[in-house]
Structure 1
Amino acid sequence: MSNTLSSNESNPSGKKKIIVLGSGPNRIGQGIEFDYCCVHGLLAIKEAGYEAIMVNCNPETVSTDFDIADKLYFEPVYWEHLWEIIELEKPEGVIVQLGGQTALKLAKRLHEKGIRIIGTSYDNMDIAEDRGRFSDLLKELNIPYPQYGTAYTADEAIEVANQVGYPVLVRPSYVLGGQRMRIVINDEEVEKAVISLLKHIPNNKILIDHFLDRCQEAEIDGIFDGTDFHVMGVMEHIEPAGIHSGDSNAVLPAFNLTPMEVTTMEFYAEKIARALDIRGLINIQFAVKDGNVYVIEANPRASRTTPFIAKAYGIPYLNIATKVMLDVAKLKDFTMKKQLKGYAIKEPVFSFDKFPGVNKELGPEMKSTGEAIRFIKDLRDPYFRTLYKERSMHLSK
């Protein structure tokens, strides 16, 4: 046991404080895009009159610069460290929506300790995170979704897969970047996928979804303040279904979906945000096949595309969303005029040259290490045409 320290470098102020949780070290599925979210969140907190406290341990991020937050705790984003900080600072609450999945996973511990979570409540976030609970909600709302079932063993998974119909997507709950997700086509592959999954993530609940092959994927990022819902952006993926959203080239706004399909997506997104009583940000993933719109999943937090949309449209969405979470402003208080002329394409960035032994084939498990933004005037742009041609060739196989 280490000796108890007799001194403390941190002297709490008498101001009202808000703690923002960062995303920790950069990793596949979660990186610099969430640092953008945290920085703009911290600035919004200060504008709202609170002391902004940042908890993160990544020296490569702007959020850990000494002049961004009022106070920085350069500590691992783990419960043991966070709890000591909370006991000392006694904040008004903690924001978990801005730091990706790492921050969101601490919501349960905060809730159990009675610490106020700024924005969406823990239980409503858990409904979105728990694949089974979320599918049950979609059923109640009469929103289409791929047939699914849950299992805890390989035998149960095989039984469920036969019920929902092959091909199926086998995935664990509460994971980052599509970790251990697999698309499988028969009982043998299900068994192999489940055994591998449980070996790496023991006791995890396994979700088996019917995989909608050859469908179009799209997503919506939005903000809900309890009264009004604002669609930040509708993004359409160029790559076909089966490739993780983080590895897809995505176009803003949608380029090939019909007006009815886009309107349906927006209608479902608002319906879900209201049912979950979201306060702040939500990201919803869709699959569109034969004119039908299906909801795949919802993320009750900032997504990796939130900064992309904010930059493309020139709107400070993270500042707005944070003030909505703090309940110091409503969406009607802001003028949000989208300034994009043409289209913006989210390009995934891969680092395969740094990891020559890694399988370069893309699938439901994310492999990109970042993203870039490319602006085009119209769909005749050579870069876009090349990407779309590659998609067509893939679908024709």
Structure 2
Amino acid sequence: MGGQTALNLCIEVSEKGIWEKYGVDIIGVDIDAIHITEDRERFRKLMNEIDIPVAPAKIATSFLEGKAIAQELGFPLVIRPSFTLGGSGASFVHTKEEFEDLLSKGLHASPIHEVLIDKAVLGWKEYELELLRDDNDNVIIICSIENLDPMGIHTGDSITIAPCMTLSDTAYQKMRDMAIKMMRSIGDFAGGCNVQFAVSPDEKEDIIAIEINPRVSRSSALASKATGYPIAKIASKLAIGYTLDELDNQITQSTSAYFEPALDYVVVKIPRWNFDKFKGSNIELGLQMKSVGEVMAIGRSFQEALQKACQSLEIGRNGLGADGKGKTDQDEILFDLKHASGDRIFRVYDAMRIGIPLKKIHNITKIDYWFLNQIEELVNLEKKIESYNIKSLPTSLLLQAKMKGYADRQIAHLVNCLESEVYQNRQDNNVQRVYKLVDTCAAEFTAKTPYYYSTFEMPKEVMVKNTLKMKVL
């Protein structure tokens, strides 16, 4: 029951013959699937057998073996220890000088003293798909997730967006087919699966498989909350023999669990770090996960969801910007962009505020131009709002700011007034939030038990009843 630790224990108990001795059946995954997905060499060989592209790589079980592989593949490289959690022991290697130390750490981190050394695909875009499969071999995609940060930053430390924003439909369909093929190839089991891919940032959109996790993961929890689809609950029922068409959709109660969720909103997840509690620790982000939590926000657009997520971090920021707390020194900003840490998204915003060209920001961060353009739109909107005061601010501009996720406090900062004055202005001009549904079906069917998110885009989707109501104190 659980994640990576449970999988490792499952294998260890199996090797001691305990499952067989007591007649224990493993459900939701099988032993061979764990071996294939956690043993980097077996995974790579299987992908080659089923014609799924992977990065050039080789396995090393000793220091000398690793040095020989590095000489053959050339730098930059990635060292990935087998059977580890959260990228523990993993690292990027850019030069020969740092390789020996990082190889030793990687071998030490692996419980079986094994690492995969592969050619680094720096700057490629990273995606994830969440899948469910039943005993009849039916497979559905629950959610697609895109990492704002490119390959090189652990997905647990990356800002992620659901559904994917910058992937073409052709590439998505290809990725979907690859994920289903991968899940079917690792074993004959019913349950959940998480598959990670890298996509080249050019027009060709070449796709390579990074890894597959035959378990409910952190991403599964995000996908479940983002879509309203109870992944863990359905995966558990599939593991004991139910099929997808037999199970009801918990929210609509009129469709089956075989329906893939449809999203008419955007979800943004931002990790939360606590570097201030660990003085002297290396705050630069990489292949090892360093975040201790995360926030999730829902909006009608990426911009709105991003602003809401920034407001929820509890780090003293009112949003992505418009609070007077950004940096203005160009050298400092450029250094922060080159050495990614937990506040890089704020430095991207700061860079645009002081006029650093988009192309330069992209070349340093490798963040897709689509995301950079979205942030630039926010910066331009702020500059427009700053030319007004609270009395002259057009209602259309106020509504536009609210639809893009700006808090009253941010707007007050831009027009130099009190937050309460912005609130009163909204009330006077009927700029009020409405509530919309997370219903798994984009309003195609009536939702019986949805949950809600607030936004400023009309119309409202909440039906107010005239029945007696209770107030929770």
TM-score, normalized by length of structure 1?
A: 0.71
* Structure 1 letter corresponding to 2:78: L
Unaligned regions of 5+ residues in structure 2, if any? Answer: 248-255, 308-318, 321-344, 350-357, 365-473
Cα separation, partners in 2 of 1:124 and 1:380, compared to 1, 3 Å: closer
Equivalent residue runs for 1:131-170 within 5 Å: 131-170=40-79
* Structure 2 letter corresponding to 1:321: A
The C-alpha deviation readout for 1:42-76, integer Å capped at 9, x for no partner, is: xxxxxxxxxxxxxxxxxxxxxxxxxxxxxxxxxxx
* Structure 1 letter corresponding to 2:146: E
Selected match of 1:333 from 221, 243, 246: 246
Mapped pair 1:222 → 2:131: yes
Selected match of 2:143 from 214, 230, 233: 233
Rounded to whole Å, the distance in 2 between the matches of 1:154 and 1:190 is 10
Contact 2:198 2:210 in 1 (8 A): yes
Cα separation, partners in 2 of 1:320 and 1:211, compared to 1, 3 Å: same
- 239-248 vs 110-119, which deviates more? 110-119
| Structure of greater relative contact order (alpha carbons < 8 Å, 6+ residues apart) | 1
Unaligned regions of 5+ residues in structure 1, if any? Answer: 1-20, 22-98
* Structure 2 letter corresponding to 1:255: M
1:282 equivalent in structure 2: 193
* Structure 2 letter corresponding to 1:164: L
Mapped pair 1:390 → 2:293: no
**Secondary structure in 2 aligned to 1:298?**
strand
Rounded to whole Å, the distance in 1 between the matches of 2:111 and 2:84 is 13
Mapped pair 1:191 → 2:136: no
Rounded to whole Å, the distance in 2 between the matches of 1:388 and 1:379 is 16
Q: CA RMSD in A?
A: 2.2
Equivalent residue runs for 1:250-329 within 5 Å: 250-276=160-186, 277-289=188-200, 290=202, 291-327=205-241, 329=242
Cα separation, partners in 2 of 1:201 and 1:231, compared to 1, 3 Å: closer
* Structure 2 letter corresponding to 1:286: F
Contact 2:82 2:112 in 1 (8 A): no
Mapped pair 1:374 → 2:308: no
In the TM superposition, residue 131 of structure 1 has moved relative to its aligned partner by 0.7
In the TM superposition, residue 255 of structure 1 has moved relative to its aligned partner by 0.4
In the TM superposition, residue 214 of structure 1 has moved relative to its aligned partner by 0.9
TM-score, normalized by length of structure 2?
A: 0.60
* Structure 2 letter corresponding to 1:317: I
- 359-368 vs 155-164, which deviates more? 155-164
Larger helix proportion of the pair = 2
In the TM superposition, residue 199 of structure 1 has moved relative to its aligned partner by 4.5
Contact 1:150 1:206 in 2 (8 A): yes
In the TM superposition, residue 195 of structure 1 has moved relative to its aligned partner by 2.1
- 229-238 vs 190-199, which deviates more? 190-199
Equivalent residue runs for 1:109-120 within 5 Å: 109-111=12-14, 112-113=17-18, 114=20, 115-120=24-29
1:362 equivalent in structure 2: 285
1:177 equivalent in structure 2: 86
**Secondary structure in 2 aligned to 1:363?**
coil
Selected match of 2:3 from 100, 111, 135: 100
**Secondary structure in 2 aligned to 1:381?**
helix
Rounded to whole Å, the distance in 2 between the matches of 1:117 and 1:202 is 22
Contact 1:110 1:116 in 2 (8 A): no
Number of residue pairs the alignment of both structures matches: 299
In the TM superposition, residue 151 of structure 1 has moved relative to its aligned partner by 1.0
Cα separation, partners in 2 of 1:388 and 1:320, compared to 1, 3 Å: farther
Rounded to whole Å, the distance in 2 between the matches of 1:125 and 1:202 is 15
Rounded to whole Å, the distance in 2 between the matches of 1:309 and 1:203 is 32
In the TM superposition, residue 119 of structure 1 has moved relative to its aligned partner by 2.1
- 209-218 vs 107-116, which deviates more? 107-116
Cα separation, partners in 2 of 1:358 and 1:221, compared to 1, 3 Å: same
* Structure 2 letter corresponding to 1:101: Q
1:130 equivalent in structure 2: 39
